[in-house]
Amino acid sequence: MPARRGKLEFPWADTPSPGEAREVAPGILWARLPLPFRLNHVNVWLLRENDGWTVVDTGCATTEIVAAWQALLSGPMGGRPVRRVVATHGHVDHIGLSGWMVSRFDAEYVGTFAEWIWARVSHMHDVPGSNAAHHSYLVRNGFDDAAAADLVKSRRRFIDLSSPVPGSITEIRDGDSIRMAGRDWRVIVTRGHAFEHASFHNPESGLLIAGDHLLPTISPVIAVYEMTPKSDPLEDFLASFPQFDDVADDTLVLPSHGSPYHGIRTRIEELREHHRRRLDATAEYLRQPRSAVELAKAMFPHIEGPDNIGFALGETLAHINHLVRKDIVADVSDIAGAAIFRTLAT
Ligand SMILES: [Zn+2]
């Protein structure tokens, strides 16, 4: 029975269990894998081909997810091989198990170039300079040395959630066409949540595989990270919405978290409004000069644990950097090493 939330409509009120798959369109199965985070699941899509399967995303490398895949492969996937692994983007909950899958089936690995490179440098220990860059980013934004060292160490755990990222790729770019499950899908590459996130649109069937870019119930993480500390990913995210202008409102959107939904136009408007409110709140809070960490703690008062404060900092900085670009907020610190932001008088 369909469920509604606001103006969005969800054709399935319940979700498949690990190891089960549900057909959401002819030849396209929805499976849900358990994640070891507060965000406790990720969706993957299984597309039936003449000679096996294309899988879109794989989850990360945990024993629970490997077990779920074994059940899927021998159950709903009928023991037929995975021929292609397609990555929406390089975050570990999406591509962590792709190396395992690709080597197990000698499958083709398909994705955007930036996400593949990003995953290769983010999911490897001892990449030269990466810990130092992360540490100085954290100190610059208001953590003391000890807290920064803990956070750097804590994030290294994410690396262990990835099997080795495949060593070569079949590259896809914005506007390309890719054939999956007997349909031609247009590749839509967006920035904001990731550097080159890929969505896949098939207008004839009214389907959009949306990855993390347009999630139904949570706002996709739009965050600044230490590799690009002055970036403005929020501008990129907001600027991406016109790329979906020709996606009809009755399209079934297949997101990586949450359930498939109808109502893409409404959802885009909700996401615009969410960030408009966050930007207003950020400018209001920064009437008092603060570091980004102080602001993150004020904006996310219930946050706990080092990983979550790390994400909160990244999201807060995305809003700060956007306001700095627009000359609404400035870095007013006069000491080298720590940034203090303040809203400029108008
Ligand atoms: Zn993601």
Q: What is the pLDDT of residues 276-305, one digit of tens each?
A: 999 999 999 999 999 999 999 999 988 877
Is residue 302 domain-resident?
no
Is residue 80 domain-resident?
yes
Structural domains counted in the chain: 1
Residues 266, 244, 182, 98, CA torsion sign: negative
pLDDT at residue 1 tops 60: no
- Cα 224 to middle of ligand 1, angstroms: 13
CATH code, domain carrying 185: 3.60.15.10
- Cα 40 to middle of ligand 1, angstroms: 13
pLDDT digits (tens, 9 = 90+) for 317-334: 999 999 999 999 999 987
Is residue 313 domain-resident?
no
pLDDT score recorded for residue 251:
98
| Residues 274 and 260 sit within 8 Å (Cβ to Cβ) | no
- Cα 212 to middle of ligand 1, angstroms: 5
- Cα 235 to middle of ligand 1, angstroms: 17
- Cα 345 to middle of ligand 1, angstroms: 36
Is residue 265 domain-resident?
yes
pLDDT digits (tens, 9 = 90+) for 217-245: 999 999 999 999 999 999 999 999 999 99
Neighbouring-strand partners of residue 328:
none
- Cα 209 to middle of ligand 1, angstroms: 14
- Cα 88 to middle of ligand 1, angstroms: 9
Is residue 301 domain-resident?
no
Rounded Cα distance, 148 and 337, in Å:
13
3-state secondary structure the chain: CCEEECCEEECCCCCCCCCCCEEEECCEEEEEEECCCCCCEEEEEEEEECCEEEEECCCCCCHHHHHHHHHHHHCCCCCCCEEEEECCCCCHHHHCCHHHHHHHHCCEEEECHHHHHHHHHHCCCCCCCHHHHHHHHHHHCCCCHHHHHHHHHHHHHHHCCCCCCCCCCEECCCCCEEEECCEEEEEEEECCCCCCEEEEEECCCCEEEEECCCCCCCCCCCCCCCCCCCCCHHHHHHHHHHHHCCCCCCCEEEECCCCCEECHHHHHHHHHHHHHHHHHHHHHHCCCCECHHHHHHHHCCCCCCHHHHHHHHHHHHHHHHHHHHCCCEEECCCCCCCCCEEECCC
- Cα 193 to middle of ligand 1, angstroms: 6
C-alpha to C-alpha distances, 341 to 33, 210, 224, 235, nearest whole angstrom: 40, 35, 16, 19
Could you tell me the pLDDT band of residue 124, with boundaries at 50, 70 and 90? confident
Range of the domain at 229: 3-273
- Cα 93 to middle of ligand 1, angstroms: 7
- Cα 336 to middle of ligand 1, angstroms: 33
pLDDT at residue 39 tops 90: no
For the chain, give the mean pLDDT.
94
- Cα 333 to middle of ligand 1, angstroms: 32
- Cα 194 to middle of ligand 1, angstroms: 7
pLDDT score recorded for residue 116:
98
- Cα 228 to middle of ligand 1, angstroms: 17
pLDDT score recorded for residue 303:
81
- Cα 179 to middle of ligand 1, angstroms: 23
Nearest to 85 by CA among 112, 115, 109: 109
- Cα 20 to middle of ligand 1, angstroms: 23
Is residue 315 domain-resident?
no
- Cα 89 to middle of ligand 1, angstroms: 7
- Cα 280 to middle of ligand 1, angstroms: 25
Is residue 164 domain-resident?
yes
Is residue 31 domain-resident?
yes
- Average pLDDT on 258-264 reads 97
